Structure 1
Amino acid sequence: MFALMFRLKPVRRLSVCFKEKSVWTSEKVCISPYKDVEIPNMTVDQYVFKDLEKWANKTAVVCGHTNRSYTYEQVYKKSRILAANLRKKFKVRDGDTIGVVLPNVPEYPIVVFGILAAGGVVTTLNPIYTAYEIERQIGLSEASIIITNEDIVPTVKEALKLAKKDLPVISLNITQSLPEGTMSYKELAEDNLIDLSILNEVNRNHEDLAFLPYSSGTTGMPKGVQLSNRNIVANCQQQNTDVRLYEYTTKSNQDSTLVVLPMFHSYGLSICMLHKMSAGLKLVSVPKFQPDMFLNTLLTHKLQLLYLAPPMVLFLGSYPQVTAKHMESVTSVISGAAPLPSADIYRFFDKAERDVKFVQGYGMTEASPLVSLSDRSYEDVGCALPNVRLRVVDGNMKNLGPGEIGELLVDGPNVMKGYLKNPEANADVFVDGKWLRSGDLVKINEDGTIVVVDRLKELIKVKGYQVPPAELENVLKEHAAIIDAGVVGVPDDAAGEKPKAFVVLKPGAGATEQEIIEFVSKRVAPYKKIREVIFLESIPKNPSGKILRRTLKEQYC
């Protein structure tokens, strides 16, 4: 679930959600109060560039740090050149998966659309992943090529060594020399002699897979989320209705949006990049959040939309150097990944020196990712988007009515095809073959507004990132001295939550807390690091062997 806050002009208020219209069926299914939208049968790259002639010469993406930029026409042409070279030189065929391990750089859209235009599937990886994490996703996704930054090449090569694979590595050599043993992205994307007719071989349609991000779902290890072209296009269309945040792009107007949220994540990828480019907005990318770079970008670029994570909103509200001037052109601010405390919201108001309206929304990677938006209060996450249906169920999957608390189920054209090659996980997450289990406890009011009560899922939320306890438990059990382990999330003022580990040592074995922390740190991204270790004689489990994490929390946290 992620919270959203934004300022809307009166002509775009989400008042449709609260008209006198029944949103509950006789079967206790909650339908969207918005009119259904038509979903074109297009691939994602076709959809994004369908109106290219309207804004071909407008800036598509610019780096907020280096000012390196590309127009929409340049992104389109370079992506097709890259696609042709992927088909010709790397023998990419329809449905082949290609891994993208990049920070937020202006070449990110070119790489993504190049892979799609070549008939490939994009699996995105966090650029701060360790070699162990990259190795795991390469294996699970069956990626055949890796495209990455020069400084990440050594980690990728170590991952390939661990995986015992010899895959081609394409290096984004824009400002640095080409690392040894890699292919040049620049040569592949600027090859004006390549025959583009090879792209006529590509045969992909709206039902085919487009993206393969990895998510932990409601619990457990990361799983490949199969998002089709239709899933993504549908979610873009769903945002072009009464919930629209941007002004239309015309000859005299082009809204711009900050892209500091990572594009490897579905929120940054789908909502910030794919949807906004389909509407002709200008993306201002920031490779990572650094105070000076972030503030300079706000001053230099006239930004209308800010997509932020809660720590960034807290930063804007509390950092002494932030003034109203940094946000003077901003019309919409969207805070994602987790709800915001009201104190942080009001501090932001004080800095902005304007009345910003906050609302909330709800989404998940498995739903491409947006499910609902609100325009009413801080307490709810709004109504279902067009074409989306919702159910609230009890433990027996029986539908509950308005105001009753149960697990939220979602159905709509934006819901994923399923987890890749994981029938057991698919059986767990889908009800009646199509209703996606959210893992969140909610109630839906008579008017269709959703209130999140609690989450059933055991994921730990660290600075908005999802950290699956099972992943850390598996890493801990790789330690030679550990026979069993359990991990829970505990409150943390700075990060929201932090992972806390409970371990059982093998008889006669010894290990210190610091040794275990360092062991895990070498194998996971920084936000997943264990911060505390407790030694136990046994890990509490139920009769079927499932770890009782709630018991761990109650007894030791």
Structure 2
Amino acid sequence: MLRSPLADVHIPAVTIYDYLFSELDETTLDAVAIVDGTTGAETTYRQLVAQIGLFAGALAARGIAVGDRVGVLCPNVPAFATVFHGILRAGATATTINSLYTPDEIANQLDDAGAEWLVTVSPLLAGAKAAAAQRGIADDHLIVLDGADGHPSLRDLLGEGHPAPDVTFDPATHLAVLPYSSGTTGRPKGVMLTHRNLVANVAQCRPLLDVDHTDRVLAVLPFFHIYGMTVLLNFALRQRAGLVTMPRFDLPEFLRIIAEHRTTWVFVAPPIAVALAKHPVVDQYDLSAVKVIFSGAAPLDGALAAAVATRLGCEVVQGYGMTETSPAVNLIPAGRPEIDKSSIGPLVPNTEARIVDPETGADLAVPAEGDSAAGELWVRGPQVMVGYLNRPDATAEMLDADGWLHTGDIATVSADGMFRIVDRLKELIKYKGYQVAPAVLEAVLLEHPLVADAAVIGANDDDGQEVPKAFVVPQKDAALTAEDVMTFVAARVAPHEKVRQVEFIDAIPKSASGKILRKDLRMRDRG
């Protein structure tokens, strides 16, 4: 068993709201908490705390109580922080929803989470309204933050002046959030994360990420995703930094916001790193304020990290985590040039790990020098989820009786405690940081009348980034093209779930039990 080389940190037994905001004093209350990157509008910590309390009070006045579930379908705008923490302050549980989801996908999550309320914004109202109708959520339970006829608005709710309710629950067991993840395989499942999980992971990040009140942190990675939720929305606020929001990625706008707001820490996923390394428009902006580019959500190639660092004159580091671990498990600290930037760094504090042979279940030894043999990474710590909502079977597959979470990622560890992800045991595809479950796409492909069989894996594009690739067995004598396949799928899934590559094949390799042998397909793809 391996432990973090860093000293354990204290994890207070408080709610995430109390952990983030209870220690604010007069010197920090009037500091800027959030900046709308698009408009430049600023919200101070004093204003944010007041808004959170009023939103919680308005929810309580409408009967929302401890344990109720509220859906949040909202891009990165300052109001997200008010809504998210207002829901949690009221004792309810927030289920954050991908802004790119189709109405059916939104409705499925609302239904699975048991949400009776939904919060959105007018640009997403059409999909939200269709999903709410499927779920049976009435118009007065569909809050439209920027206003829409027949729906409560944020201005309406804050204007009512209800104080935050006095609620009591155990932070160690009470669910704060229900983000959805495919885990190692299958359709998305509700990940049960408690207040303690969220508090723990912010506390675990603090010794490694040198962010403070003098920093401006760019938040382009979505708050609905656990990476944005913990490492941006919660961590940056706990460090009293100024959080600069961006509702969607657009490269010139991204660069303009960095330049104009002098952001010092920029959290990205690898596709944004590719643009920073290669796109000519980058040279048109003054990015000199950037101290650190931090990449997560998918593996970052060491050569790409070096190219970004050289071009921007900053440090580039990365980390590793999962929705099921709140998310941070490993982080490369800034200011450690000796650490190989293609690694994922050391374990965060209070975290244990094992490298396990997938065939034998035996722990692999850490050598006196160099790297260990490759095995499945298992982790244990206070950031690990309670389990999957209403899915004891899936929980048991992922989380064993001793609290070890089986990540499905193949890793090595060096003698000095640096981890490296080298392959994937699990089936999940990471496209631009978003999770894509092959089983979902395979089900869609099999709906096509000219498709006899299909399988989906992650394959690399020209930039070395993972994309969904379909192996398709056509019906006999079918006139089917790759473009036909991609168009069919695109009409039925969210944009990040589209099939990006297609290869026709005579038969899908399967085990005797009928399980798709994706390892064989990955070997075929690599040639």
Regarding TM over 0.5, the answer is: yes
Judge conservation of contact 1:463–1:495 (CA < 8 Å) in 2: no
The farther-off stretch of 360-369 and 409-418 is: 360-369
1:86 aligned counterpart, secondary structure: helix
Query: What pairs up with 1:131-530 in 2 under 5 angstroms?
Result: 131-163=103-135, 166=138, 168-173=141-146, 178-192=147-161, 194=162, 196=163, 199-203=165-169, 205-241=171-207, 243-247=208-212, 249=213, 254-323=214-283, 326-352=286-312, 354=313, 356-374=314-332, 375=336, 376-394=339-357, 395-402=359-366, 403-479=372-448, 482=451, 484-494=453-463, 496-503=465-472, 514-530=483-499
Cα distance in 1 for partners of 2:456, 2:482 equals 14
Instruction: Summarize deviations over 1:456-485 as a string: whole Å, max 9, x none.
Output: 112222222221101111233344665643
Which letter does structure 1 place at the counterpart of 2:437?
A: P
Instruction: Identify which of 115, 119, 127 aligns with 2:99.
Output: 127
Matching residue of 2:67: 95
Cα distance in 2 for partners of 1:238, 1:191 equals 38
Instruction: Summarize deviations over 1:230-284 as a string: whole Å, max 9, x none.
Output: 111111111222x13123x3xxxx3210101111111111001101101211100
Cα distance in 2 for partners of 1:325, 1:130 equals 35
Cα distance in 1 for partners of 2:481, 2:293 equals 45
- CA change 1:330–1:486 in 2 (3 A) is same
Question: Structure 1: which 5+ runs fail to align?
Answer: 1-28
Cα distance in 2 for partners of 1:495, 1:143 equals 39
Which letter does structure 2 place at the counterpart of 1:383?
A: P
Cα displacement (A) at 1:202: 4.9
- CA change 1:498–1:313 in 2 (3 A) is closer
- Over the residues paired in the alignment, what is the CA RMSD in angstroms? 2.4
Cα displacement (A) at 1:86: 0.9
1:151 aligned counterpart, secondary structure: helix
Q: Which has the higher contact order (CA 8 A, sep 6+)?
A: 1
- CA change 1:316–1:540 in 2 (3 A) is closer
Judge conservation of contact 1:130–1:522 (CA < 8 Å) in 2: no
- CA change 1:381–1:99 in 2 (3 A) is same
Cα displacement (A) at 1:64: 0.9
Judge conservation of contact 2:75–2:222 (CA < 8 Å) in 1: yes
Cα displacement (A) at 1:407: 0.8
Instruction: Summarize deviations over 1:130-187 as a string: whole Å, max 9, x none.
Output: 11221221122111111111011111122234445547211011xxxx3344221221
Matching residue of 1:66: 39
Cα distance in 2 for partners of 1:428, 1:36 equals 28
Task: With the length of structure 1 as denominator, give the TM-score of the two structures.
Answer: 0.86
Which letter does structure 2 place at the counterpart of 1:39?
A: I
Cα displacement (A) at 1:317: 2.8
2:376 aligned counterpart, secondary structure: strand
2:56 aligned counterpart, secondary structure: helix
Instruction: Summarize deviations over 1:17-71 as a string: whole Å, max 9, x none.
Output: xxxxxxxxxxxx1111111111101111111102222411111111111112211
Which letter does structure 2 place at the counterpart of 1:230?
A: R
Matching residue of 1:56: 29
Cα distance in 2 for partners of 1:205, 1:159 equals 31
The farther-off stretch of 222-231 and 309-318 is: 309-318
The farther-off stretch of 159-168 and 520-529 is: 159-168
Judge conservation of contact 1:310–1:335 (CA < 8 Å) in 2: yes
Judge conservation of contact 1:206–1:229 (CA < 8 Å) in 2: yes
Cα distance in 1 for partners of 2:287, 2:482 equals 45
Which letter does structure 2 place at the counterpart of 1:142?
A: G
Cα displacement (A) at 1:337: 2.3
- CA change 1:82–1:361 in 2 (3 A) is same
1:321 aligned counterpart, secondary structure: helix
- Overall identity of the aligned pairs, in %: 39
- CA change 1:201–1:431 in 2 (3 A) is closer
2:34 aligned counterpart, secondary structure: strand
Instruction: Identify which of 515, 519, 522 aligns with 1:546.
Output: 515
Cα distance in 2 for partners of 1:120, 1:109 equals 15
Cα displacement (A) at 1:351: 2.9
Instruction: Summarize deviations over 1:87-116 as a string: whole Å, max 9, x none.
Output: 112x21211111111111011100101100
Which letter does structure 1 place at the counterpart of 2:321?
A: G
Cα displacement (A) at 1:536: 5.5
Which letter does structure 2 place at the counterpart of 1:244?
A: L
- CA change 1:482–1:120 in 2 (3 A) is farther
Cα distance in 1 for partners of 2:508, 2:308 equals 43
Judge conservation of contact 1:218–1:459 (CA < 8 Å) in 2: yes
Judge conservation of contact 2:69–2:94 (CA < 8 Å) in 1: yes
2:78 aligned counterpart, secondary structure: coil
